[in-house]
Amino acid sequence: MSIVSIEPATAERWDDLENLFGPTGAYGHCWCTFFRRRAKDHTASTSCERSMRGVDNKEELRRLTLDGKVPGLLAYDEEGPCGWVSVAPRDDFIRLARSRSLRPADPTEPGVWALVCFWLPPRRRRRGLGSRLLDGAVEYARAGGARVLEAYPVDTVGGRAPSAEVYTGTVEMFQRAGFTLSGHHLSERVVARLELKTE
């Protein structure tokens, strides 16, 4: 199947997002709120607590769409929603500002957007859909007035990593898309940045 369109995840498309993520909320009840919340608001120690936290995470993501925010983009093919990418102004992602391994060198730098997550159903993986979503995220950030798009990919040189470990994308994917890669100023993480030319 080929992608028909990539659309903002608005409140009107909530049912599509909910169906795409399924009952477990994509990655273990996360509902793509991991970077939008402080650690203590997102973690839980028991399976029951994780399940309840998943409900909270889902409601948090739903609330964002009802408040008129766009937490990410949905890809569609002929069968319906088939992929997700979370992209928004960097300030929307509270955890980035507090993270020891991803904290921005200049948190006041204007016009920076961040791409923090991809999610594809297992049967859609390894078909180039992630790269198409990345292209859509670049165009969406540019249209939204971003000056820079930043991401935090995983280096998979030396072998494949489980899908749950590469939810931020791979270094190779961002290299192909023209991003500049550098080491984080406080950690061993890779930071990918793309300067966006706006009209």
pTM passes above 0.85? yes
Burial bucket for residue 189 (CB in 10 Å: 0-12, 13-18, 19+) = middle
Q: Rounded to an integer, what distance in angstroms lies between the CA atom of residue 52 and that of residue 68?
A: 25
Q: Which residue is listed with tokens 């409601």? A: 59
pLDDT tens, the chain, 199 aa long: 577 899 999 999 999 999 999 988 887 788 999 999 876 665 543 344 444 456 788 999 999 999 999 999 999 988 899 999 999 999 999 999 888 888 888 889 999 999 999 998 877 776 778 899 999 999 999 999 999 999 999 987 766 655 567 889 999 999 999 999 998 877 788 999 999 976 5
| Segments making up each domain of the chain, as ranges | 3-195
**Rounded Cα gap, residues 93 and 107, in angstroms:** 12
Q: Hey, which CATH number is domain 3-195, 3.30.465.10, 3.40.228.10, 3.40.630.30, 3.40.30.10?
A: 3.40.630.30
Helices 47-66, 14-21: inter-axial angle, 10-degree rounding: 160
